[in-house]
Amino acid sequence: MSDILHPNLKVKEPTLDVPGKPNKRWRLAFATIYSARALYSLLNQNKKKEKSRKLPLPISSTPSYVVLNVKPEAFSSIDQTTLTAIVKEKNLDLLLEFGGIEGVADALQTDIKNGITTGSVHDVALRQEAFGSNTIFQRPPAAKSLFHFVVEAFKDLTLLILLLCAALSLGFGIKEHGLNEGWYDGGSIFIAVFLVISVSAVINFQQNRQFEELSKGSYNIMVEVIRDGHPRQISIFEIVVGDVVYLIIGDQVPADGLFLDGHSLEVDESCLTGESDHVQINSHHNPFLFSGTKVVDGYAQMLVTSVGMNTTWGELMSTISRDISEQTPLQARLNKLTSSIGKAGLAVSFLVVVALLVRYFTGNTENEKGNQEFIGSSTKVDDMVNSMVRIIATAVTIGLVAIPEGLPLAVAVILSYSVNRMMADQAMVRKLSACETMGSATTICTDKTGTLTLNQMKVTKFWLGKVHVDDSSSISKNLLNLIRQGIALNTSGSNYRATSGSTLLEFSGSPTEKAIISWAVQELDMKMETLKKNCTILHVEAFNSEKKRSGISIRSKADNTIHVHWKGAAEIILAMCSSYYDASGSTNDMDDGERTIFEQIIEGMAASSLRCLALAHTQIPDDQEEHDIGAGPPQKLIKEDSLSLIGLVGIKDPCRPGVRKAVEDCQSAGVSVRMITGDNVFTARAIATECRILRPDQDMNDESIVEGEVFRNYTQDERMEKVDKIRVMARSSPFDKLLMVQCLKQKGHVVAVTGDGTNDAPSLKEANIGLCMGIQGTEVAKESSDIIILDDSFASIATVLGWGRCVYNNIQKIIQLQLTVIIATLVINVVAAVSDHEIPFTVLKLLWVNLTMDTLGALALAIEQPTKDLMEEPPVSLSTQPLITNIMWRNILVQALYQIVVILILQFSGEPILGVNKKVKDTMILNTSVLCQVFNQVNARKLEKKNVFKGMQKNKLFLGIIGITIILEAIVVESLSKFADTKRLSLGQWGTCMGIAVLSLPIGGVVKCIHV
């Protein structure tokens, strides 16, 4: 009932108050509408046969007591099914039925030149309603709610054993002491286990949600479209059917669509077809573009015909489930460490069980009254079961001590915190393992443009022939027209009015293109649109990083002559020239002497840190006219030799503020910085010296600077010999960059590589850490990277390096803290158990110690931020250096030994020494142990440095967690005596516990004087 009868048919919303009387009129209305639809369908079919797009005449409506909701569609002459069929099936015949690409654009109410009109706020919403939004609904991974993580926590074998012991303790306690008193021990264990599970589940749940949000953000690609006649950047999710989208090398095609205009467009469809061959796209034979494919050459404009789930890529992705869970190498090592320690603890627990059972059944144990527990057959079954439960609980307690279950949780906290902080520092992590690997980086291979420099380019010099030109008035009119023509047409950029009727021009394209176009408009009075109208483009060779040049052949409409223009790297264009223009417009032959003069001019501009480009031209004689463009797809038939050099353009791209300090910070951290650039060797040397990658007095012949072609032509042995010395590679291709990364890795380096272009993808994948530029980076490069640098700044790379080291360092701190607790409590409990004394750390008390250390202690150390000290240490080798270093073992063993001695003295002799009863002594043991761990957290802040308080006052969260731990301990001791089996302590007793614990600090300082 929602089909269109006529676009001008007036409709009203339906009413629910339908009178009961006019049933016949309702049927009449229905028959009328149905007939109208049939008539409209027949008329429409006839119109299609005549290739006409006129709409049927208005059909009069029949009055009725029922108001129908016959909603008109805004796009009546084409529907989504047809649009999908045209592109998905590559159906040229169906496309022609609708009048070709222009006919489809008309049906979608799109102006091919100016894009869609968004003057009406409802236009975009109407298109989304009619054709859907550009959102791909991937099949979600298995639901991971909070309940999921609670269930996962319950799978821990230790916790299951504890719950069994808690149930037995609860049952026997109620049986022996009644419900009012007997539930405390078992109930307390249940509560403690519930707290451990809750904390673990909540932290894991929050971490999972953070990574989900991060994953969603990585899909938010910015796309350039034209709307209302102006280019604008919008999110890929905001694209609608009918949009005109700009595509350049490296872009991901954001939706299904049709080729409108462009040159030399080739796309990689391997993600859909599996074929590695690139597909040529043109308006004649293959105008079909598919979402998810990558542009590998050329540039174009496309008309969007399908978005979201209506695209081929959307259908494919809807069947794929993406699991964002990822275990990093360090997490795998920690799981292995946890497993090893746990097995050792279980072995000790088993031996303790055997020893206690032997002692029990041989009559060497006594009950609370001092009587022998096992008296053969005289022993009651209930007493025997109670003893067995106590022995098993003791063994489980010892086993629980030995399992550092907080380590994996601590790593999750550290990674989650670090990823969020790195995002705030302009680095978006795509792969968690990169957080750890970055801390081990030994060399960084960085691009120049946009990373070391601002990528804010401006033309500062122009040489016409052998003469430096400051004023365009000195240039002949004909030559000036040639310069304007070459710049206006041989480009992928453009200019446009900022707003309708405005005189202010804005420029689009790459930073280099924008610099040249703005210079030509402002200094040479170039009228870009006029020049485009006066010429017909014949052939185009688009610029890419391998060729370092772009060319175009055009036919002038005024005199029908054919002209070829080239633009690119100065020495490459110079090699293609055999003559040059002077200011008068005359051409002069270029001999070796004059060629040398031009080379010196290029070197001089490069030495001033200028990027040097050359413009060249030639006119094609009538008898050599090229293949006509209308006869088929464009061919790459552009004359490449015997050109006339027009001029040399010097473009300044200033270094980023702070880049010199960032490079020096990396170098002081033992990380070599290498610059790989497409600029010539002189420009590369000038920028590298300015950034301190090279010393000012460094000789160009000391093998620290090399050109890509030279490096490529080395033998493998020569490359391996020289690669460590190279600091700058100039005139490099993406293959040269990949070759250097491979050589550095073979030499044992951990390599971080920056990249932004499609051709950088192999290097980004090959490197240990791929760093893609977020602003200039193509989608292909971003997908190949591990971390995206959102502001394209090298200073952010140095920050990422600091965070990588901080992640590893914080994990080592937590390992040191938790192993100290494990060793101390394990030894104390074993010694106490086999000495016929009650273990000082019962299950409940041990759970409390673990909760404070595994959660609060880990959180306190996890939020430590990078320090200057970390950037003064050499890189850590994750593959060869042990996770627990000799320095850590020294700190662990000394602190554990101190705690063992103190606690065992209190356990065996605490009552007479302190003059207290057993209940107070046990409470002081618990209190002293917890406070020792609190002060040991402070010790763990610096693994080697003696001054552990440095910078602590800045870390308010660390101080807050320490305070919270002490407050919670005071609550457990003073207010939860029945649950925790504690006794309230006096101020003097608190002072004694605090004094013993504080001694951990000076002991930690003294032990760091011992060199290991």
Given a contact cutoff of 8 angstroms between Cβ atoms, the answer to whether 562 and 626 are in contact is yes
Closest by Cα among 365, 392, 364 to 172: 392
CA angle 596, 597, 598 (to 5 degrees): 90
Between the two ends of the chain, the Cα-to-Cα distance in Å is 85
The rounded distance, in Å, linking the Cα atoms of 815 and 885 is 11
Catalytic residues: 447
Handedness of CA 927, 928, 929, 935 (dihedral sign): positive
Alpha carbon 143 to its chain centroid, in Å, reads 23
For β-strands 443-446 and 751-755, DSSP reports them as parallel
The rounded distance, in Å, linking the Cα atoms of 820 and 836 is 25
Given a contact cutoff of 8 angstroms between Cβ atoms, the answer to whether 876 and 805 are in contact is yes
In three-state secondary structure terms, 927 is helix
Which tokens go with 248? 């350049």
C-alpha neighbours within 13 Å on the C-beta side of residue 128:
12
Closest by Cα among 32, 40, 42 to 68: 32
Alpha-helical segments (H) within 767-793: 779-784
Sheet of 427-429: strand order equals 427-429, 787-789, 769-773, 751-755, 443-446, 672-676, 728-730, 705-707
Given a contact cutoff of 8 angstroms between Cβ atoms, the answer to whether 448 and 675 are in contact is yes
Q: Give the total residue count for the chain.
A: 1012
Residue 505: other Cβ atoms inside 10 A:
14
Residue 324: other Cβ atoms inside 10 A:
13
774 contact partners, CB below 8 Å, separation of at least 6: 426, 428, 782, 788, 789, 790, 791, 792
In three-state secondary structure terms, 450 is coil
Q: Which residue has the tokens 């010892």?
A: 398
Question: Phi then psi for 644, rounded to 5 degrees?
Answer: -110, 125
Position 911: which residue type?
Answer: E
990 contact partners, CB below 8 Å, separation of at least 6: 927
What is the tally of helices (H) and strands (E) in the chain?
35, 26
Closest by Cα among 943, 937, 944 to 961: 937
